[in-house]
Structure 1
Amino acid sequence: MKRFTLLVLLAALLAGCGDTPVPAETTVPEASAETTEAPLPTFDFEGIALNVLAAESTAYIGYLDVAEQTGEVLNDAIFACNRAVEERLNIVIEQTLEGASAANKTAEALIMASDHVYDLLSLTDRNAFNLAVQGMLLPYDSLPNVDLTQEYWAQGINDTLRMMDRYWLATGDFNLSYYDYTFMMVFNKQLADDLKLDNPYALVNSGKWTLDAFSKMCIGANRDLNGDSKMDDADQWAWSGAYQNIAPSLWVASGAQSIHKNDDDLPVFTMGSDSHFTEVFMKIYDIAFTRGCYHHKTDTQSITALPAFKEGRALFQTTSFQELDGEYYRDMTIDYGILPHPKWDENQAEYYSHVAGGRLFVVPVTAKETEMIGASLEALSRQASEDIIPAYYEIALKSKYTRDDESAKMFDIITDSRIYDLGATIWTNQIRSGFIMRMMKDGSNALASEVEANRAMVEGELQKAIDGFKAQK
């Protein structure tokens, strides 16, 4: 990812923070026009419309365009980006917004009916994948003017979504939902100081932020604040977070996957045969339940445990960019920092960040103006990398999320290594939000028996996809 020094970007953001110094060397993704990429070609599509069906949601950014400038940083960056693309290509972006579920239904109905109304349609990733299986979408690599090797395309995510060496689906920097659903950890800096813990930032920077280091910090962090001799909602916890997210965030961070792909670039359910996955899962279970570090709740997703961090009663919390902008963090007064999830051990070269899905903009097989659509997608992703992504970072770095100079580097680490696990996204209903979430809810470590109990169901779903893609070759 392109970078530039934060002097310009952060000077204005930190000027109002009293004696907080402006960092001299910290870096974030580049906003300047200085780039090593070849200039995008200029087209003249004679003012035709790029018709887009997008999603309106309070949970993530599912829209592609905004109607006008409002003075809000991210809104105006999206506006500027899209107007620049319109001018470069001589097109007009026409966006229709529907609620997330309604947009899914509308898109699926139009595509199944071969009714060409939109050039791009926004669907939840698993809904989009199902349409790709049925041959209802044009692969991105079949579109003229699209170069998926460029860094403004999410190459790691796209390679995971690739099937049989075809990019039926893809995402790039114009699609902010994949940033919104990127997971990280937050930590309470005052509690860390009170507990005399190692500096988490120093551990990350030295490559020593591992599951063992995380476990060591968690042990002894619980406190029975109300003195009733039991740990409950009123007490201090080492770690909290929605239990459908804690396990995949940590196994992805440890370099494990619930589904791999074989030599034919097709999915294989490997949880039962992957010794590393089993070892990682058992370590997660040990920290969460054997050692009792996790604020375990049994409501639908352990959501009632989340306010503990905002109230200063949790040392760590697993969360996402989207959640950081939600009610549990808004107007929070405690001083906190942001970290990637810990890696497996010091031999692991990188930190990895779990991406729990998002919306995908797909091209229906009925699309006619494929040259314009391809050029638009390429230009939108390239322009977004220069306009929108730096603005997204500015929002994140501007008091909503972070309060220290180390934050920018942590954001780089978190977003530079975003990883997609097919069992926590495309097949989340079967795996992550299926038996894994149930195990976390029940505090169970019976991984082998759960895998075997669900194997036929999971492999049956994978086989449907395999058959669908093979039929299109």
Structure 2
Amino acid sequence: MNINKRVSLLIAAFLAVSSLASCGDTSDQGGETTPSGDTTSAEVKEEYTFSKAYDGQEIRVLNCDDIFSMHARVDTQETTGDALNDAQYNAVRKLESLMGIKWTETNVHLQNELPEMTTQLILSGDDEYEIIYQSNSQNYYQFADQGYFYNLLDYTEAQLDKDWWLDNFNSLMTVDGKLYAGLGYSHLCCVDSIGMLYFNQDMAESLNLDLPYDLVRNGTWTIDVLGTYCKAAANLNGDDSFTWKDDGSCVWGMSAASNAGAGWLHYFGEDIITNQNGKAVLTGGSTDRFYNACEKIASTIGAKDGSIYLGHYSGDDNPGSYINCFEAQRALFGCSEIAKANRMRNLDFMFGALPYPKLDEKQERYYEGLSFPASGVAIPVTCKDPVRSAIVGDAINYIYYKDVWPTFSEVTLKAKNLRNDDSIEMLGIILESAAPNLAEVYNIGSGYTDALSEKLRAGDSAVASLLASYKDAIEADLEKVNNQ
């Protein structure tokens, strides 16, 4: 099977059939799988019955606006000639035609407006929205704990076990038999927000470095190898230090956001919190491998030799941002998400895509994270007809799965955003490797992860006592989550 066909299949079923079990590389919950059967989302055979019970009714939807180069809107509201935009627009019009409803979507800023509007809605008791697209992590547990949303598992009309929902993601987010936001194919951020490591292929070739694609293929793409590449690329280039200057010329090995740190544990299968039989459990810090991972992270992101630049994230175009550093060709690697390829497609140098590295060659698979813009269907408790919301939420995910995803994979991700067959193949591996970080989903031990990240950025890997100091608080968080 050729690369493009193979990746089409991977993208079409990227989470529904991939192993997205809770991380922990030494457990039996991981393991890669490949898509079963030679079908794409455009070839869905299953018949779907669209309810006409709500003919003439308006479905009011609250969702974030496009952000961080990600496609967050469900209804793009007009055609523009862009293939993806128009596929999204037509999907919503198809939903309206088949169900006889009117989809009215309000789009607001994900961080500055959506949480406040959600809180005001619930506290007012007003029935203003049938569906809210809730972030998989930002405020997710806070809102769930305060009873803002219905438990989706109580509404079988949302067919969460079907391919148009991201069942393996949702299963991991289900704790104590409750799921408050169901991730599905209607929110493109569920792919856009998956982590991806960019690299400047032209720069690598000028440094006589082997392109890393084969290392990924043969399972030897590790953090130590990444560190070797970063050291080879670091160059003062006439500057007096590795300190950002807008008019400077030094080159770093890798650029990353200034809050980088504990999140790298996820790439190594060493999540702090995992889902064990429907319960959130503290597993981080229980093995020597966890502390070995901390040592590797500290030596990588805490390096002072130009191996890494930790830049601000207040605006991708602003000089000194971690994205701008990579785009200005002042770093060999750039840490980000799949979505950034949307803005990088016009760069005048060849870039490639890679998964984040393993801890060591013994690690059986790669792991990628999912950032907070990825959002799912949530039904606010102020909604007087949650069954209707579940039915419509299911239908829009089905139509997106059938009609939008082929365009997203074939046109946007492959034809427009990625520049070579190697990167397209890497994308398939990245999609197979995506898994949620439950410590972020349920905001468990956030004080600990912040403190841990700070130590790791300082190059300090002596973290055992830190976990001990936060353990009681983490256990209290777990008690709340497991008994909602």
Normalised to the residue count of structure 2, the TM-score between the two structures is: 0.82
Alignment match of 1:56 (pick from 65, 68, 75): 65
Alignment match of 2:48 (pick from 31, 40, 43): 40
Change (3 A) 1:344 1:295: closer
Q: Is the Cα–Cα contact under 8 Å of residues 27 and 409 in structure 1 kept in the other structure?
A: no
In the alignment, structure 2 segments of 5+ residues that lack a partner are 13-39
Q: Is the Cα–Cα contact under 8 Å of residues 261 and 454 in structure 2 kept in the other structure?
A: no
Match of 1:295 in 2: 308
Alignment match of 1:253 (pick from 267, 285, 304): 267
How big is each residue's C-alpha offset from its partner over 1:382-431, in whole Å with a ceiling of 9 and x where there is no partner? 221222233333223344x3211222222222123211112234428825
Match of 2:105 in 1: 95
The answer to whether residue 438 in structure 2 is matched with residue 391 in structure 1 is no
Output the CA distance in 1 between the equivalents of 2:5 and 2:147: 51
Match of 1:315 in 2: 332
Q: Is the Cα–Cα contact under 8 Å of residues 219 and 291 in structure 1 kept in the other structure?
A: no
Change (3 A) 1:342 1:444: same
Q: Secondary structure at the match of 1:406?
A: helix
How big is each residue's C-alpha offset from its partner over 1:273-314, in whole Å with a ceiling of 9 and x where there is no partner? 243322222112223335846424476789634433222221
The answer to whether residue 105 in structure 2 is matched with residue 132 in structure 1 is no
Change (3 A) 1:424 1:198: farther
Q: Is the Cα–Cα contact under 8 Å of residues 50 and 395 in structure 2 kept in the other structure?
A: no
Match of 1:271 in 2: 284
Output the CA distance in 2 between the equivalents of 1:431 and 1:76: 43
Q: Is the Cα–Cα contact under 8 Å of residues 5 and 27 in structure 1 kept in the other structure?
A: no
Aligned residues: 442
Match of 2:8 in 1: 27
Match of 1:13 in 2: none
Q: Secondary structure at the match of 1:123?
A: strand
Change (3 A) 1:271 1:26: closer
Alignment match of 1:174 (pick from 173, 186, 195): 186
Structure 1, 296-305 or 345-354: larger mean CA deviation: 296-305
Change (3 A) 1:99 1:455: same
Please state how far the C-alpha of 1:377 moved relative to its aligned partner.
1.6
Alignment match of 1:336 (pick from 351, 360, 363): 351
The answer to whether residue 131 in structure 2 is matched with residue 120 in structure 1 is yes
Output the CA distance in 1 between the equivalents of 2:261 and 2:342: 19
How big is each residue's C-alpha offset from its partner over 1:444-464, in whole Å with a ceiling of 9 and x where there is no partner? 323223323333444433333
Output the CA distance in 1 between the equivalents of 2:224 and 2:88: 41
What's the RMSD between the two structures over aligned residues?
A: 2.9
Structure 1, 389-398 or 409-418: larger mean CA deviation: 389-398
Structure 1, 82-91 or 299-308: larger mean CA deviation: 299-308
Task: Kindly provide the amino acid, as one letter, of the partner of residue 177 in structure 1.
Answer: C
Match of 1:282 in 2: 295
Please state how far the C-alpha of 1:158 moved relative to its aligned partner.
1.3
Match of 2:251 in 1: 236
Please state how far the C-alpha of 1:350 moved relative to its aligned partner.
2.8
Task: Kindly provide the amino acid, as one letter, of the partner of residue 334 in structure 2.
Answer: Q
Q: Secondary structure at the match of 1:419?
A: coil
Task: Kindly provide the amino acid, as one letter, of the partner of residue 366 in structure 2.
Answer: Y
Alignment match of 1:194 (pick from 175, 193, 206): 206
Please state how far the C-alpha of 1:200 moved relative to its aligned partner.
1.4
Task: Kindly provide the amino acid, as one letter, of the partner of residue 55 in structure 1.
Answer: C
Alignment match of 2:76 (pick from 51, 66, 83): 66
Change (3 A) 1:341 1:389: same
Q: Secondary structure at the match of 1:364?
A: coil
Output the CA distance in 2 between the equivalents of 1:269 and 1:140: 25
Normalised to the residue count of structure 1, the TM-score between the two structures is: 0.83
